[in-house]
Amino acid sequence: MRIAVMGLGGIGGYYAALLARGGAEVICIARGDNLAALRQRGLTLRSPKWGEFTVPVQATDNPAEVGPVDLIILCVKAYDLETAAATCRPLVGPNTVVLPIQNGIDHPERVARVLGGVVLAGSAGLSARREAPGLIVHAASPPHDVTFGEVGGGTSERAERVLAAFQAAGVPADLSLDVQVPLWEKYIFICAQALTAVTRLPLGVLMRTPETSELYLGVMTEVAAVGRARGVRLAPDTVEARFARLRQAEPSLRASMYYDLAAGRRLEVETLNGTVVRLGRELGVPTPYNFAVYAALKPYVDGPPALPPVA
């Protein structure tokens, strides 16, 4: 299979490395120092599960040089999604499938508005980061590294082809017949994890502080309520079960939004808590906890805000 990966951060780089090692023809759409490293040294994955290996990959910053591919894995930040999707147009042929994997729940619809009905819905289930140009460090994975499916549910021949490509590379993948459920289950978690950015503290501190733990649970409960109002078939105990697991999670865990905030980068808060607030207003579901998180992070949405001079 001919696969283009756009967005060679931790998630995109992880998939690209394993798919290339598994024999797929992988083309990395990258830029800057990452592009130079991929061309000169290849793509390296360092992982407690897979060990450390380097694979040669094709790399370009111009999709028009590539032509149509079988699969596009789109792993850019949510705020760059429409721009990246438009850049992918030369990669789309009559049999191309696009799998966007971003934080949030509206990315398939946003990509489909640009590229048409070639889009599946997907969610990453792993923790990885780009430590240096061309170097991906994988920290951990749950049972599935990627979960995906048709936006409206069910299965299809094209979804089965994507599953076969992941399986051929050894990537643990789940083709969900109701993909909105796992998308919203993750959304519940990552919206609450934005509190690690608000407080600048890791999960363990939040969980052992009763007031902050209550706030964390409140954010999760609101997101689930919005999902159910949208018709997502979340299990009755979804929030309680995930919250219980979080109490047993690695105490040092922080959201990617925390690292973006600490590094002075743009934030995905509009896609996360901001979208919960907007959907809640449309559906008549109160979301005061998510509004508080959204309001606290909004000044940083485009990077560090300009501060007034000290008198």
CATH number of the structural domain spanning residue 245: 1.10.1040.10
Residue 74: pLDDT band with limits 50, 70, 90: very high
Same domain, 82 and 11: yes
Q: Is 189 helix (H, G, I), strand (E, B) or coil?
A: helix
Rounded Cα distance, 222 and 229, in Å: 11
Rounded-to-5 percentages of helix, strand, coil across the chain: 50, 20, 35
Please, what is the Cα angle at 94 between 165 and 60, to 5 degrees?
Answer: 65
305 located within any domain: no
Residue 253: pLDDT band with limits 50, 70, 90: confident
Rounded Cα distance, 120 and 128, in Å: 22
CATH number of the structural domain spanning residue 97: 3.40.50.720
Query: Above 80 in pLDDT, residue 307?
Result: yes
Tokens, residue 13: 């780089």
Range of the domain at 101: 2-177
Mean pLDDT check: name the lowest of 27-41, 135-149, 220-234.
Answer: 135-149
Rounded Cα distance, 73 and 83, in Å: 15
Per cent of the chain over pLDDT 70 is 100
Same domain, 6 and 137: yes
Instruction: Output phi, psi for 68, to 5 deg.
Output: -60, 140
Enter the pTM of the model. 0.91
Mean pLDDT taken over the chain: 94
Count of other CB atoms within 10 angstroms of residue 281 = 13
